[in-house]
Amino acid sequence: MENTENKIRTFEDLEVWRVNRFLSKKLSSFAKTLPLEEQERMSDNLIRSGRHITNCIAEGYGRFEYQENIDLCRQARATIYKIIDNLIICLEEEFINEEELEDFRNDCNKSIQFINGYIRHLLRKKRNKEQFTKDDLIIEE
């Protein structure tokens, strides 16, 4: 009997998407606490960036092509670095303190680690097989 517990049926089953969804929601909650004058600047930027991460992961999953999926994951990873930069600006503007920045930085680093792991998985699959099938999205643990 086949173990279906670890099978990926949709991008929502990807642990990398779930970890980054947590970061996106956390950023959105924080952005809503920023001063009113920052609502169209930093707040909007943080919310859009957080959503962009999971959008890239979902879109890459839906492309069913290794290299495009990898490229979109790299975009997602780059966006996390942009978020860290924006959070440093928030510290400089005194919207957050050092402890809050460190907490966000830890979440961002965790997200980056998951994206890097997913990229490695996709690169291995790409090297071992030319044709991409939906079964290739099953992640072995």
Judge whether 65 and 59 are in contact, CB under 8 Å: no
Which CATH architecture best describes the domain 11-130? Up-down Bundle (1.20)
Q: Domain ranges for the chain, please list them.
A: 11-130
Q: What is the pTM of this model?
A: 0.86
Q: What is the structure's pLDDT at 75?
A: 99
Residue 2 has pLDDT above 50, yes or no: no
Q: What is the structure's pLDDT at 39?
A: 82
- The predicted-structure confidence for 11-55, as pLDDT tens digits, reads as follows 999 999 999 999 999 999 999 999 999 888 999 999 999 999 999
